[in-house]
């Protein structure tokens, strides 16, 4: 992981890359994806100070189309005060799964699904009996993890814990990619939120939505990428870039996920390296 403070687009930014193993006889539950994570946070304005934006670019490394593909974040907040006296709830308007202490609330925390994809939540009572669909007394099995990721798109699992007493709760907030072809990538995004009150948490969620829309609007429109050539890829040495004739005179800026930057001199429609 690499952290930048300040970053090029936020007061703090962090980058990391991780991957799942390819499915095999020894690892039949592996998915086979590479994930590039990008985190952003800001010091102002006040509502955005309560937001951490997390985007995940997911690439299918397998030879098969993944359909569907669920992606989500698991939280077991254990809030200050009495960790076994929390409740979990779902804000369907802002698409936020959140947690708080119903007796002596100090902070509200939550995970928000950003973008236009489906949003789901699976709220879990960590002290639920063995007969429950998800029982933590013997761990968190792969089947239970899949259930938590995929089973929260209805109304059945939006809440855990009572306002009268609370309990030890967890949540999985997830989204859905209907299909991801071999070699293709797709991006999902979430916001991590924390605020002193529910109203401020909802304001942070609205700030996160607006900020993410600005991030999307700032991305350059897709160009004639079919005529670009970049090789060898990957490489730890010289990289060759061939550009289409139609681009004319231009200047290139190259940047890696570690934010190593280089500028290429102005060049015409010839190979640059």
pLDDT digits (tens, 9 = 90+) for 171-187: 999 999 999 999 899 99
Domains of the chain: 2-218 (2.70.98), 225-263 (no CATH)
Q: Work out the pLDDT band at 45, boundaries 50, 70, 90.
A: confident
Q: What does the pLDDT look like over 229-271, one tens digit per residue?
A: 666 666 667 777 776 666 666 666 666 555 454 545 444 444 4
> What integer pLDDT is reported at residue 270 of this predicted model?
43
Lowest mean pLDDT among 1-10, 47-56, 174-183: 1-10
Token output for 13:
């930014």
pLDDT the model gives residue 221: 55
User: HSE of 248 in the Cβ direction (CA atoms, 13 Å)?
Assistant: 0
Where is pLDDT greater, at 254 or 132?
A: 132
């Amino acid at each position: 992981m690499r952290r930048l403070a300040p970053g090029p687009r936020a007061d703090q930014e962090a980058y990391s890359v991780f991957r799942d193993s390819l499915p095999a006889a020894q690892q039949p539950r592996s998915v086979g994806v590479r994930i590039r994570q990008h985190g952003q946070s800001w010091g102002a304005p006040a509502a955005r100070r309560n937001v951490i934006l997390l985007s995940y670019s997911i690439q299918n490394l397998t030879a098969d189309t993944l359909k569907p593909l669920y992606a989500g974040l698991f939280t077991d907040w254990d809030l200050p005060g009495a960790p076994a006296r929390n409740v979990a709830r779902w804000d369907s308007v802002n698409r936020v799964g959140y947690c708080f202490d119903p007796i002596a609330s100090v902070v509200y925390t939550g995970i928000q699904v950003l973008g236009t994809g489906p949003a789901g939540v699976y709220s879990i009572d960590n002290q639920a009996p063995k007969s429950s669909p998800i029982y933590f007394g013997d761990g968190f099995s792969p089947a239970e993890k899949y259930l938590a990721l995929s089973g929260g798109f209805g109304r059945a699992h939006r809440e855990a814990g009572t306002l009268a007493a609370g309990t030890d709760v967890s949540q999985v907030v997830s989204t859905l990619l209907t299909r991801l072809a071999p070699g293709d990538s797709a991006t999902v995004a979430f916001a991590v939120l924390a605020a002193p009150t529910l109203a401020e948490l909802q304001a942070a969620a609205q700030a996160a939505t607006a900020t993410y829309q600005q991030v999307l609007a700032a991305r350059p429109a897709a160009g004639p990428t079919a005529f670009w050539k970049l090789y060898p890829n990957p490489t730890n040495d010289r990289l060759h870039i061939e550009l289409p004739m139609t681009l004319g005179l231009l200047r290139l800026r190259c940047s890696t996920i570690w934010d190593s930057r280089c500028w290429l001199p102005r060049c015409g429609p010839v190979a640059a390296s």
